[in-house]
Amino acid sequence: MRAVTGYATTGPHGPLRPIQFTRRALRPDDVAVRVTHVGVCHSDLHAVEGIAPGAPRLVPGHEFVGEVTEVGAEVTRFQVGDAVAVGNIVDSCGECENCLAHREPYCREFPTLTYGGVDRRDGTPTQGAYSTGYVVRDAFVHDLPAGLDPAATAPLMCAGVTTWSPLSRAGVGPGTQVGVVGLGGLGHLAVKFAVALGARVTVFTTSAAKADDARALGAHDVVLSTDPGAMAAVAGRLDFVLDTASGAHDLAPYLAALRIDGTLCVLGLPEQYVVSPMSLLGRSLTVSGSGGTAETQEMLDFCGAHGLTADVEVLPIDEVNTAFERLARNDVRYRFVLAVAS
Ligand code: NAP
Ligand code: ZN
């Protein structure tokens, strides 16, 4: 067992506070990682806001990079000192058809989440990477691509793969008209990916002040989604819309923006959405989702080759509550990353 320091919930809407806890002793297929940078995902904020009174304390954090400090007896892929990255799942059954096809996020038994999950072997709750160290099965650890800034790479492990996966599976490329809803952590990476893949990109934002940034990221068009006239002007134009907005909103205008056979992929996690079946039938539309990390290595290779990383604001981990407060009021350009002192 190794002692680590982490930042844990203190109850609904309470601040995160430092705690000491222990990580498990290394199993033969485990890797111990000293966390150097961990991204602040809006899912972390949803998780903390959803904490029930009296619930066990929770350490968030599911997109991180760091350095290997120890490896289990059977680990051959990693050595002490390697720079590595980990995302939002840390184990899966390994036996169902989805795991055998290396699509572990869709494990039939549900994968083990990096935090808020239950370890499959000892039944203990998983605690996340807002902490000085993590212990993880080697199969869920990735090499950090050479040449990329570690802090700006951490968000690729959740925000990156979550947006990469649906864009790549949809075959987005030259000739595709892509819409991205919400210019936040996920959204700004979706814009970078879609532009790098050669698509024509329209950003839908509620923040007029982000229009110049959207264009600087490579977007061809920017639509203020609160302007009904501007929304009506894009009706029937797009092939694929990736909706990354974190708050509840009407999906109808984005379905209207699609061409026949278009797809609206909804990534945000407000409590629920309402979709009218008639709005889908009328133009053969699809509504889809994404679970995350299946194509993590493919995404990291693409980012390494294109020098593509997140735009980050790095804060020391003891300012995590400031990061949460600012994220909650949509004040981040475009991902907070917490620097963890060793
Ligand atoms: P974020 O950085 O806070 O960005 C979300 C953006 O959504 C905001 O910057 C804002 O963009 C827009 N927005 C916020 N509230 C809105 C509302 N009520 N109506 C319309 N637009 C709104 O969050 P994130 O970390 O990118 O995460 C985005 C969502 O994806 C969260 O719900 C998160 O939990 C979820 N998520 C899902 C997965 C998955 O596997 N499916 C993985 C990671 C995260 P503008 O200012 O441009 O309007
Ligand atoms: Zn996330």
Ligand 1 shell residues, CB under 6 Å: 41-43, 46, 158-159, 162, 182-187, 205-207, 210, 244-249, 267-269, 290-292, 327, 330
Ligand 1 atom at shortest distance from the alpha carbon of 270: 32
Nearest protein CA to atom 11 of ligand 1, as residue: 182
**Ligand in nearest proximity to the CA of 184:** 1
pTM: 0.96
Cα–Cα dist 189/267, whole Å: 13
CA of 273 to the centre of ligand 1 (A): 14
- CA dist., res. 306 & res. 118, Å (int): 36
3-state secondary structure the chain: CEEEEEEECCCCCCCCEEEEEEECCCCCCEEEEEEEEEECCHHHHHHHHCCCCCCCCCCCCCCEEEEEEEECCCCCCCCCCCEEEECCEEECCCCCHHHHCCCHHHCCCCCEECCCCECCCCCCECCCCCECEEEEEHHHCEECCCCCCHHHHHHHHCHHHHHHHHHHHCCCCCCCEEEEECCCHHHHHHHHHHHHCCCEEEEEECCHHHHHHHHHCCCCEEEECCCHHHHHHCCCCEEEEEECCCCCCCCHHHHHCEEEEEEEEECCCCCCCCCCHHHHHCCCCEEECCCCHHHHHHHHHHHHHHCCCCCEEEEEHHHHHHHHHHHHCCCCCCEEEEECCC
Specify the pLDDT at position 293.
55
Q: What is the best residue among 164, 213, 246, 334 to mutate for testing ligand 1's pocket, by most ligand atoms within 8 Å of CB?
A: 246
- C-alpha 87 – ligand 2 centre gap (Å): 8
Q: Which pair of structure tokens corresponds to residue 336?
A: 């907070």
- What is the rounded distance in angstroms from the CA atom of residue 77 to the CA atom of residue 85? 13
pLDDT recorded at residue 272: 74
How many Å apart are CA 323 and CA 314, to the nearest integer? Answer: 10
* The ligand 1 atom nearest the CA atom of 334: 2
Whole-number Å distance, alpha carbon 270 to ligand 2 midpoint, is 14
Pocket test for ligand 1, best of 38, 42, 251, 264 (most atoms within 8 A of CB): 42
- Residue of the CA atom closest to atom 44 of ligand 1: 43
Q: Domain 160-287 carries which CATH code?
A: 3.40.50.720
Token pair in block for residue 171: 């075959």
Name, in order, each residue with C-beta under 8 angstroms of 294's C-beta and a sequence gap of 6 or more.
Answer: 102, 103, 104, 105, 106, 161, 165
Topology given in CATH for the domain delimited by 2-158+291-339: Quinone Oxidoreductase; Chain A, domain 1 (3.90.180)
Residue minimizing CA distance to atom 41 of ligand 1 = 267
Q: Which atom of ligand 1 is nearest to the CA of 269?
A: 32
> Which of 44, 186, 242, 254 best tests ligand 1's pocket when mutated (most atoms within 8 Å of CB)?
186
Question: Does the bond joining 273 to the residue before it have cis omega, within 30 degrees of 0?
Answer: no
Domain ranges of the chain: 2-158+291-339, 160-287
Q: Which atom of ligand 1 is nearest to the CA of 245?
A: 7
Q: What tens-digit pLDDT sequence spans the chain (342 residues)? A: 689 999 999 887 789 999 999 999 999 999 999 999 999 999 999 999 888 888 889 999 999 999 999 999 999 999 999 999 999 999 999 999 999 888 888 899 999 999 999 999 999 999 999 999 999 999 999 999 999 999 999 999 999 999 999 999 999 999 999 999 999 999 999 999 999 999 999 999 999 999 999 999 999 999 999 999 999 999 999 999 999 999 989 999 999 999 999 999 999 887 777 787 777 777 777 787 765 556 899 999 999 999 999 999 999 999 999 999 999 999 999 999 999 986
- The alpha-carbon radius of gyration of the chain (Å, integer) is 20
> What pLDDT score was predicted for residue 195?
98
Determine the distance separating the centroid of ligand 2 and the alpha carbon of 232, expressed in angstroms.
32
Question: What is the rounded distance in angstroms from the CA atom of residue 3 to the CA atom of residue 15?
Answer: 22
Closest atom of ligand 1 to CA, residue 330: 9
Distance CA 208, CA 189 (A): 19
CB-based contact 189:299 (threshold 8 Å): no
Which ligand 1 atom is the nearest neighbour of the CA of 203?
Answer: 47
pLDDT given at position 1: 62
CA 140 to each of CA 6, 70, 124: distance values in angstroms, whole numbers, following the listed order: 21, 15, 18
Ligand 1 atom, smallest distance to 267 CA: 41
Protein residues placing their CB within 5 Å of the ion ligand 2 = 41, 43, 158
**pLDDT score, position 53:** 81
d(CA 293, CA 189): 15
Distance between CA 210 and CA 216 in Å, rounded?
Answer: 10
d(CA 172, CA 158): 20
CA 142 to CA 150: how far, in whole Å?
A: 13
